[in-house]
Chain A
Amino acid sequence: MSTHNITVTVNGQTHSAEVESRLLLVHFIRENLRLTGTHIGCDTSHCGACTVIVDGRPVKSCTMFAVQADGRAVRTVEGLEVAGALHPVQAGFKEEHGLQCGYCTPGMMMTATALLESNTSPTEAEIRQAISGNLCRCTGYTNIVKAIQHAAATIRATKTETPARGVAPAGKSAATA
């Protein structure tokens, strides 16, 4: 089995490793880096539990090889909270009861984070469209939509004062946050 040397920035930290070509990014994150907040829920890229943000875009990390992340910036759920302050999306999910078993939650929150980085005033239809690649079996989605609306309102309110903590602009990684 051939291997490659890769360097990936994850939540602002640079990691170099020798990995098998076939190693999935989600396994690199979970097993090599022991960041287990990113979950696996299916084999077919349908459930989105493994969603992370790669160079500003939400990506299903079960459908990307670790070698494809070489030289790129990845953000996972563990990178949302900055200096003890919850990201507005995390706070929104807690406030609006946007999670139950918590298994889909990290992927759902990463998709929501990516959405709000490009659009701080999404309509309900835009929110539902954005999370349509993330399956939740517990909540019936109503409170997830409210959680993202809650986060959007927080981000908008913060933006008028100072830039929101931990919310990097679209297209940039949180590496500098």
Chain B
Amino acid sequence: MIQEPRTTPEVGGMGHSMKRKEDGRFIRGKGNYVDDIVLPDMLYMDIVRTPYPHAKILNIDTSRALATPGVLAVITGRDLEKYNLHMMPTLMSDTQMVLPTDRVVYQSQEVAAVIATSRYAAADGVAAVDVDYEPLPPVVDPYKAIEPGATLVRPDRKDTNHIWHWEAGNKDATEQVFRDADLTVSEHIYIPRIHVASIETCGCVASYDKAREQLTVYMTTQAPHAVRTVVALVAGHVGLSEERIRIISPDIGGGFGGKVPVYPGYVVAIAVSFLLGKPIKWIEDRMENLQADSFARDYHIDAELALKKDGTITGLRVKTLADHGCADAAANPSKFPAGLYSIVTGSYDIGAAHVAVDAAYTTKPPGGVAYRCSFRVTEAVHAIERLADIAAHELKMDPAEFRLKNFIKPEQFPYKSATGWTYDSGNYKAALELAMQKINYAELRREQLEKRARGELMGIGISSFTEIVGAGPSHTFDILGLKMFDSAEIRIHPTGKAIARFGTKSQGQGHETTYAQIVAEELGIPAAHVQVEEGDTDTAPYGLGTYASRSTPVAGAAGAMAARKIRDKARKIAAYLLEASEEDLEWTPGKFTVRGSPDRSKTIQEIAFAAYTNHPQGMEAGLEAVSYYDPPNLTFPFGSYICVVDIDKGTGDVKVRRFVAVDDCGNIINPMIVDGQIHGGLAQGLAPALFEEIQYDENGNIQGGSFMDYLLPTAMETPNWELGKTVTPSPHHPLGAKGVGESATVGAPPAIANAVVDALWHLGVRHVDIPITPFKVWKILREKGVSE
């Protein structure tokens, strides 16, 4: 159960729902987001985009644009080609265009950049760039894309649209289990293309100071240090070496994985600033953001379970086709082209499993990013949780009973999965039983029977997910070769206050508060006295950034380890001050006391002062430490969600009546922030389950390219979330924490989909792909003769 705080509320260590330190500026409108930054002599950039999904560029006529008042320059791919900056690497060893030289491969792709004296003049210039295109056939369907003879999307890379094939698990053992199975269930499941749609779009202010030969880029990035290195590697040949590059992530208006990639706009802005020696501001509008930035998901899944008659799962087989658009621009660790998708065995003890993924090029924007999801875990969880429900229904078992029967048992941890992961800890039964109790599951099943008898459609859906987060151990995890450690540097000032800097970057997660609480927990310095900074590569220690729920598991652990180094030195100073041996000192949060002499003690503040004014001879002055934490394993948060839906027979509208979410993220640092993360994650799980999808028509035209048709849930559609917790600490994390940022996004969609199918199963419906729109449901109801 939830641990009692060890520190007082005034100190505010772990377990205190401390109000957020960052809120003071945000509620006053004094945040500092990238579009708020104005530099002297700053110019504005806007981008010309193609209306065609696939076309040759015959000519770009910039004369009208250059004659437009305020327009100073128009940059094309040919201009960048002179500096070999027209192409850039993706994080997955693929390449993508910065600006095209002769061909475009997705609708709304960047074609040219207009530089002007104002935002409005730049937009005028964009409207005045005349581009002649020769349309080419679009490649929309990934299955057709990999057939022989298909139009090639990337002839510069490959003579096929098939990008890669990847497998995990044991194929032969899995085939054997399927041959021996009493029964099997299978389903084709599509996880649609969606977009993070953070309310702040992407943008930057790139400023090259020619006199100092220094580049400063304020940009919406979740990983500023990695970006600095990438810029140095890509642009080193023009003189931008790494010590001359400073990346600053200011306040970020939501990231969710969409602000991990480096987009062409950033690169063009940097290149133009470098050439002109002036600051260049580039801010996407919403349509550019939805139409051209990296998408997420887009997995076409065929999944099968092998079962015994009694409902025991014996095997899992998954084949998937991944639509990557025109470039594999995912942000996965480099050894994992399909991310951590092989977590698809989920919360269940499955003896044999095999997963295969193939990736295809299509004429769509590059991707796919890990949208609030530790690298394809959302897709994996949806597949196994849908299959679990289908299997339960086919076996005429209650879906809860089916899960309880197949869960990995608490005594099996650490548990080695059939696809090779070692789950750190878990108690899945406890989480599901708590969720069932909170929602009164048995009563709901009774109500459902009564309603069904009356012809009303009500469904109950369960999702018992297991996440895999906190990438990751350096022996296995790297991005572009950079090992996925993270870092913290803590300095204690003479008066006992502290500054702590981290290699991550909050985008709303509340790091300034959570990290301060970690320092407070470890050193007893009140969290109010711990200033947290991130996002400036000139001051923060090197780290891989915030995504994949890795901030607390990795950087938070680094914070704890750095604090413990400080405590070790503080013990030496305390021993000197108290004239006692170190072994005789006892630590309670905030002070060392001589064992057996409660009146002989030194507080951390007294020790800090001594570190600068009266430190032992032979010891270095000061009190600070840095830690680069390399986690020994990933962490495996989990939970059980139960959702109740009512379906309107006339309109097909699905109403989420109740949603109970029981999460277990190990030990909790700030319960208020954890609940907030879960609330937000649930809304981002509801969104793709019922509303959001970016579709393309057969001509390659985007169908969800603005908030007119890409439907973010409002307060009207979003239910009141009901939360519960179990606590199963991670055995290997210094604080026993597991990370929580993404659990709910990952766990919620199948709970909702399962509830809808549960309401319709008796009509002969076994699966509905998300998003489950009223139109989809209404069509089903009409086919089944329920609706007119």
Assess the B20–A97 pair: CB atoms within 8 A. Answer: yes
Assess the A95–B19 pair: CB atoms within 8 A. Answer: yes
A46 interface contact, C-beta 8 A: yes
Q: Which residues of A contact B715 (CB under 8 A)?
A: 127-128, 131-132, 134, 136, 141, 144-145
Least CB separation from A125: chain B residue = B716
B197 interface contact, C-beta 8 A: yes
Chain B residues numbered 706-726 whose CB sits less than 8 Å from any CB in chain A: 706-708, 712, 714-716, 718, 720-721
Least CB separation from A110: chain B residue = B29
Most buried by B among A23, A43, A102, A133: A102
Assess the B716–A101 pair: CB atoms within 8 A. Answer: no
A76 to B30, CA, bound (A): 12
Least CB separation from B684: chain A residue = A137
Q: Which residues of A contact B211 (CB under 8 A)?
A: none
Query: Among the listed stretches A34-42, A53-61, A155-163, which one makes contact with chain B, having 4 or more residues with CB under 8 Å of it?
Result: A34-42
B683 interface contact, C-beta 8 A: yes
A15 interface contact, C-beta 8 A: no
Q: Which residues of B contact A93 (CB under 8 A)?
A: 23, 27
Assess the B27–A101 pair: CB atoms within 8 A. Answer: no
Instruction: Choose among B29, B31, B119, B707 the residue that contacts A76 (Cβ–Cβ < 8 A).
Output: B29
Q: Which residues of B contact A22 (CB under 8 A)?
A: 120
A95 to B676, CA, bound (A): 12
In the complex, how many residue pairs between chain A and chain B have their CB atoms under 8 Å apart? Answer: 173
Assess the A43–B27 pair: CB atoms within 8 A. Answer: no
Assess the B683–A101 pair: CB atoms within 8 A. Answer: no
Assess the A101–B36 pair: CB atoms within 8 A. Answer: no
A36 to B256, CA, bound (A): 23
Least CB separation from A146: chain B residue = B720
Assess the A43–B720 pair: CB atoms within 8 A. Answer: no
B510 interface contact, C-beta 8 A: yes
Chain A residues numbered 98-155 whose CB sits less than 8 Å from any CB in chain B: 99-106, 109, 124, 127-129, 131-145
Chain A residues numbered 2-59 whose CB sits less than 8 Å from any CB in chain B: 20, 22-23, 27, 30-31, 34-44, 46-47, 49
Least CB separation from A131: chain B residue = B715
Q: A44-B706, A101-B200, A140-B721 in contact; A106/B679 too (CB < 8 A)?
A: no
Q: Which residues of B contact A136 (CB under 8 A)?
A: 199, 715
Assess the B36–A36 pair: CB atoms within 8 A. Answer: yes
Least CB separation from B718: chain A residue = A141
Assess the A44–B286 pair: CB atoms within 8 A. Answer: yes
Q: Could you say which interface size class chain B belongs to? A: 35 or more
Q: Which residues of B contact A106 (CB under 8 A)?
A: 29
A99 to B28, CA, bound (A): 12
A86 interface contact, C-beta 8 A: yes
Assess the B35–A40 pair: CB atoms within 8 A. Answer: yes
A27 to B119, CA, bound (A): 10
As a 0/1 sequence over residues 25 to 68 of chain B, the CB contacts with chain A under 8 angstroms (1 = contact) are 11111110101101000000000000000000000000000000
Instruction: Choose among A44, A100, A138, A142 the residue that contacts B721 (Cβ–Cβ < 8 A).
Output: A142
Assess the A100–B676 pair: CB atoms within 8 A. Answer: yes
A94 interface contact, C-beta 8 A: yes
A80 to B196, CA, bound (A): 31
Minimal beta-carbon separation of B669 from chain A (angstroms): 14
Q: A39-B253, A143-B679 in contact; A46/B36 too (CB < 8 A)?
A: no
Q: Which residues of B contact A30 (CB under 8 A)?
A: 35-36
B198 interface contact, C-beta 8 A: yes
Least CB separation from A95: chain B residue = B19
Assess the A100–B508 pair: CB atoms within 8 A. Answer: yes
Minimal beta-carbon separation of A153 from chain B (angstroms): 17
Assess the B254–A101 pair: CB atoms within 8 A. Answer: yes
Q: A37-B29, A39-B200, A100-B510 in contact; A137/B256 too (CB < 8 A)?
A: yes
A69 interface contact, C-beta 8 A: no
Q: Which residues of A contact B720 (CB under 8 A)?
A: 124, 142, 145
Q: A36-B36, A93-B27, A140-B683 in contact; A103/B718 too (CB < 8 A)?
A: no
A67 interface contact, C-beta 8 A: no
Least CB separation from B723: chain A residue = A142
Least CB separation from A92: chain B residue = B27
Instruction: Choose among A49, A109, A133, A140 the residue that contacts B718 (Cβ–Cβ < 8 A).
Output: A140
Assess the A103–B716 pair: CB atoms within 8 A. Answer: no
A76 to B198, CA, bound (A): 22
Assess the B28–A42 pair: CB atoms within 8 A. Answer: no
Q: Which residues of A contact B36 (CB under 8 A)?
A: 30, 36
As a 0/1 sequence over residues 237 to 263 of chain B, the CB contacts with chain A under 8 angstroms (1 = contact) are 000000000000001111010000000
Assess the A102–B286 pair: CB atoms within 8 A. Answer: no
A10 to B38, CA, bound (A): 21
Assess the B28–A139 pair: CB atoms within 8 A. Answer: no
Least CB separation from A141: chain B residue = B715
B394 interface contact, C-beta 8 A: no
Q: A43-B706, A77-B28, A140-B682 in contact; A101/B712 too (CB < 8 A)?
A: no
Assess the A99–B26 pair: CB atoms within 8 A. Answer: yes
A144 to B423, CA, bound (A): 36
A106 to B36, CA, bound (A): 14
Assess the B120–A49 pair: CB atoms within 8 A. Answer: no
Chain B residues numbered 679-715 whose CB sits less than 8 Å from any CB in chain A: 679-684, 706-708, 712, 714-715
A43 to B710, CA, bound (A): 13
Q: Which residues of A contact B681 (CB under 8 A)?
A: 140
Instruction: Choose among B23, B253, B285, B721 the residue that contacts A103 (Cβ–Cβ < 8 A).
Output: B253
A76 to B676, CA, bound (A): 26
A23 to B121, CA, bound (A): 12
Assess the A128–B28 pair: CB atoms within 8 A. Answer: no
Assess the A100–B509 pair: CB atoms within 8 A. Answer: yes
Minimal beta-carbon separation of A89 from chain B (angstroms): 8
B201 interface contact, C-beta 8 A: yes
Assess the A138–B706 pair: CB atoms within 8 A. Answer: no
Assess the B712–A103 pair: CB atoms within 8 A. Answer: no
Least CB separation from A135: chain B residue = B712
A47 to B290, CA, bound (A): 14
B507 interface contact, C-beta 8 A: yes
Most buried by B among A31, A42, A136, A143: A42
Q: A78-B28, A94-B19 in contact; A142/B679 too (CB < 8 A)?
A: yes
A40 to B288, CA, bound (A): 14
Q: Which residues of A contact B510 (CB under 8 A)?
A: 100
Instruction: Choose among B29, B199, B200, B682 the residue that contacts A36 (Cβ–Cβ < 8 A).
Output: B29
Q: A128-B715, A132-B714 in contact; A138/B680 too (CB < 8 A)?
A: yes
Q: A139-B680, A140-B683, A140-B721 in contact; A94/B35 too (CB < 8 A)?
A: no
Instruction: Choose among B31, B254, B675, B708 the residue that contacts A138 (Cβ–Cβ < 8 A).
Output: B254
Minimal beta-carbon separation of A129 from chain B (angstroms): 7
Q: A43-B287, A140-B683 in contact; A78/B29 too (CB < 8 A)?
A: yes
Least CB separation from B69: chain A residue = A1
B22 interface contact, C-beta 8 A: yes
Minimal beta-carbon separation of A104 from chain B (angstroms): 5
B673 interface contact, C-beta 8 A: yes
Chain B residues numbered 248-297 whose CB sits less than 8 Å from any CB in chain A: 251-254, 256, 285-287
Least CB separation from A78: chain B residue = B29
Minimal beta-carbon separation of B47 from chain A (angstroms): 14
Minimal beta-carbon separation of B684 from chain A (angstroms): 7
A90 interface contact, C-beta 8 A: yes
Minimal beta-carbon separation of A120 from chain B (angstroms): 19
Given contacts A37-B28, A101-B251, A103-B254, 17 further A-B contacts (CB under 8 A): A22-B120, A31-B119, A34-B38, A36-B35, A41-B201, A42-B706, A46-B708, A47-B286, A77-B27, A81-B28, A100-B509, A101-B199, A102-B22, A109-B27, A137-B196, A140-B684, A142-B718
Residues of A bordering B, CB below 8 Å: 20, 22-23, 27, 30-31, 34-44, 46-47, 49, 76-78, 80-81, 86, 90, 93-95, 97, 99-106, 109, 124, 127-129, 131-145
Residues of B bordering A, CB below 8 Å: 19-20, 22-31, 33, 35-36, 38, 119-120, 196-201, 251-254, 256, 285-287, 507-510, 672-673, 675-676, 679-684, 706-708, 712, 714-716, 718, 720-721
Closest 6 CB pairs of A and B: A37-B29, A101-B508, A103-B253, A102-B26, A77-B29, A140-B679
7 contacts between A and B (CB under 8 A): A43-B286, A47-B199, A97-B673, A105-B26, A138-B254, A140-B684, A142-B718
